[in-house]
Amino acid sequence: MNSDWKSQCPLQTLKQRAFLMSKIREYFAHHNVLEVETPILSSAGNTDVNIESFTSQSINLDCSKSYLRTSPEFPLKRLLCSGIGDIFEIGKVFRKEEISKTHNIEFTMLEWYRVDFDYKQLIQDVIDLLKFIFSAFSQPFENVETLTFNQSFQQFLSIDLSLVTDTQLNTYCANFGYSGSQLSRDEALDFLFATQIQTKLNKENLTFITLYPASQAALSQINPHDPSTSLRFEVFYRGQELGNGYQELTDSQELLERFKVDNQKRQTQGKQMVDVDCRLLATMENGMPACSGIAVGLDRLLMVLLGCKTIEEVLSFNAGNS
């Protein structure tokens, strides 16, 4: 008889998963950050070229289809614009990517926003939360390291990003095993970071990589002190990327332009264009508070806490048997 109906996740791991959720809620309750719930199905999607959404029949008569959320970001920002204050959400999100040791198509995300925080204050908030969680799991960490994106290339690859050309970056990629077609600058940077830098980060340090290139700003602000960079950061621990944070873009016109650029790139790459979230844009026109926010993958965080090698070890059911 087929036994793929069984959960492969031990009961003790499920209890530790529940404990993790309880400690997150405890931390935010102590800091007066309100837990909210937002829709999983939406009439607009994520235009990010590197993220693919699942779609379904429309839930809105004015739209041809609906999207399973890849993050709760847009409705959370609509709440921020309504004056709700500091908020967080723990919920399921969906991304159409290949299943791997660290990615399941359906996964659990923690996303939170702190009003009047700049990205440096949010980094400290992330440190405080993770110290609280790791201590609860009897795994306190001592060292925190912060490098800018440019510094990481200089330190690990001796590449000065202010001087290196796209052609030279492609040569570096080829030297490190890349054999495909010509890469754009951002594609080359992504390849080099993922294969040559992330793997070399000190696994015992909680590491923050800050000030990503402006071309990789996503929905973060451009750095007013250096327009070639953005106020975006990512956090890494024990070889895993745990979260992606921004000092948030609050200009609705700039946001619309970025959505348009994303869709133009999608069209060029032969991908489906994505319906833009007009409600978010309309809400932001009425004013979005200065804030910073971050999304953290809780399955990966639990993997790190428990020393698991694959994401399916911390899921009651993965995409293969759900």
pLDDT tens, residue order, the chain (322 aa)? 566 777 778 899 999 999 999 999 999 999 999 999 999 999 999 999 999 999 988 887 777 889 999 999 999 999 999 999 999 999 999 999 878 888 999 999 999 999 999 999 999 999 999 999 999 999 888 799 999 999 999 999 999 999 999 999 999 999 999 998 999 999 999 999 999 999 999 999 999 999 999 999 999 999 999 999 999 999 999 989 999 999 999 999 999 999 999 999 999 999 999 999 999 999 999 999 999 999 999 999 999 999 999 999 999 988 777 6
- Contacts with 318 (C-beta within 8 Å, 6 or more apart), sequence order: 8, 99, 104, 311, 312
Give every strand in the sheet of 87-94, ordered side by side: 34-35, 87-94, 106-115, 291-297, 240-247, 232-237, 206-210, 144-148
Burial of 190 (0-12, 13-18, 19+ CB in 10 A): middle
φ/ψ bin of 229: left (φ > 0), alpha (ψ from -120 to 50), beta (otherwise): beta
pLDDT value at residue 3: 63
pLDDT value at residue 77: 97
pTM strictly above 0.75: yes
Phi, psi at residue 16, to the nearest 5°?
-70, -35
Which among 112, 50, 46, 42 has a CA at the least distance from the CA of 79? 112
What CATH topology corresponds to 11-143+202-321? BirA Bifunctional Protein; domain 2 (3.30.930)
Q: Looking at residue 195, what DSSP letter applies? A: I
Angle at 37 between CA 67 and CA 112, to 5 degrees: 95
240-247 and 34-35 strand pairing? unpaired
Residues 3 and 112: their CA atoms lie apart, in Å, by: 38
pLDDT value at residue 36: 98
Tokens describing residue 217: 């700003």
